[in-house]
Amino acid sequence: MATIIDGKAVAAKVRSEVASEVAKLSQAGKRIPCLAVILAGDNKASEVYVRNKKKDCAEVGFVSREIDFDNDVTESELLKTIAELNADDGVDGILCQLPLPKGIDENTVLRAIDPCKDVDAFHPYSAGLIMQGQPEFLPCTPAGIMRLLDEYAIDVIGKECVIIGRSNIVGKPMAQLLIARSATVTVCHTKTSDLAFHTKRADVIIAAAGKAGLVSGDMIKDGAVVIDVGMNRDANGALCGDCDYESCAQKASFITPVPGGVGPMTRAMLLINTMTAYNKH
């Protein structure tokens, strides 16, 4: 039976580390790091996520600023707000919560964020640095996964790592971070013709396709490490990942649960990026 990778516990450790840094700044009478979050529209999942981010900021001692817009916000209004935040020396990190309302081009909005304040690492400049192995900020979910692997002493050097998913947020940057660690990486997706062919030879599987039950226990080899990034709903409405947890846990050496695995780490690494932005500011 697999060892469960406890993302909640590791995330709490990360928050404690950041809180210690902030406490030292406060004791020295220095300015406290500030994260500004733009929330546009009425997406309930986004509202919950932003609320949790504010909670995290309060826990570590960050200043948190939230700018809310209704569903009818225009692209020009968002760009104006981002320009103001870019110019504000009291703001270290800027995050524009996705998805945005219809009619607004996400790429245009994300590219408007100053790369020095791009704590989500979504800007093309940030992506280019990651590709070159010289990142200033790491995308939060892939960075959180790497931290989990480190915490559980899972070495990926020379290992066969299969990523399922090719998004700009998880799949592509995840591949770059693993390559930087000297892993051998294969990127698959929902249109891969024989997914099991690849997963059966993988030492590490990172499932981030957004499809419930995509990976089952008979698709992995004994002792594989299974990192489940998926956040789906099963037939009963309960949260579940991309992997069939019960069957995969019978064969894996390590596995992340959903919820409680990768999710908490994504928020924790946002704090790390904001601290990094503050130190570079």
Residue 237: per-residue pLDDT: 86
Known catalytic residue: 97?
Answer: yes
Mean pLDDT score across all residues of the chain: 96
Q: Are the C-beta atoms of residues 168 and 128 closer than 8 Å to each other? A: no
pLDDT in tens, 131-151: 999 999 999 999 999 999 999
C-alpha 122/C-alpha 127 separation (Å) is: 7
| Token pair listed for 252 | 């894996």
Residues 75-82, mean pLDDT to the nearest whole number: 98
Residue 232: per-residue pLDDT: 93
Known catalytic residue: 120?
Answer: yes
CB atoms within 10 A of CB 6: 17
Q: Can you name the residues that pair with 239 across neighbouring β-strands?
A: 233
Residues 107-120, mean pLDDT to the nearest whole number: 97
pLDDT band at 281 (very low <50, low <70, confident <90, very high): confident
Residue 186: per-residue pLDDT: 98
44 vs 130, residue with greater confidence: 130
Residues 55-77, mean pLDDT to the nearest whole number: 96
Residue 45: per-residue pLDDT: 84
pLDDT band at 102 (very low <50, low <70, confident <90, very high): very high
Helical ranges in 28-121 per DSSP H: 44-60, 75-87, 106-112
Residue 59: per-residue pLDDT: 98
Residue 54's nearest CA partner among 45, 46, 63 is 63
Residue 23: per-residue pLDDT: 98
Of 92, 118, 120, 203, the catalytic one is 120
Residue 117: per-residue pLDDT: 98
pLDDT in tens, 4-55: 999 999 999 999 999 999 999 999 999 999 999 999 998 888 898 899 999 9
SS3 call for 46: helix
| Token pair listed for 280 | 């570079």
Of 53, 117, 172, 251, the catalytic one is 53
Of 56, 92, 97, 203, the catalytic one is 97
pLDDT in tens, 215-265: 999 999 999 999 999 999 888 889 999 999 999 999 999 999 999 999 999
* Distances, alpha carbon 137 to alpha carbons 91, 120, 171, 196, 281, in Å: 16, 8, 16, 33, 13
C-alpha 138/C-alpha 55 separation (Å) is: 22
Residue 87: per-residue pLDDT: 98
| Token pair listed for 166 | 């090719």
Q: What percent of the chain is helix, strand and coil (3-state, nearest 5)?
A: 45, 15, 40
Tell me the whole-structure pTM to 2 decimals: 0.95
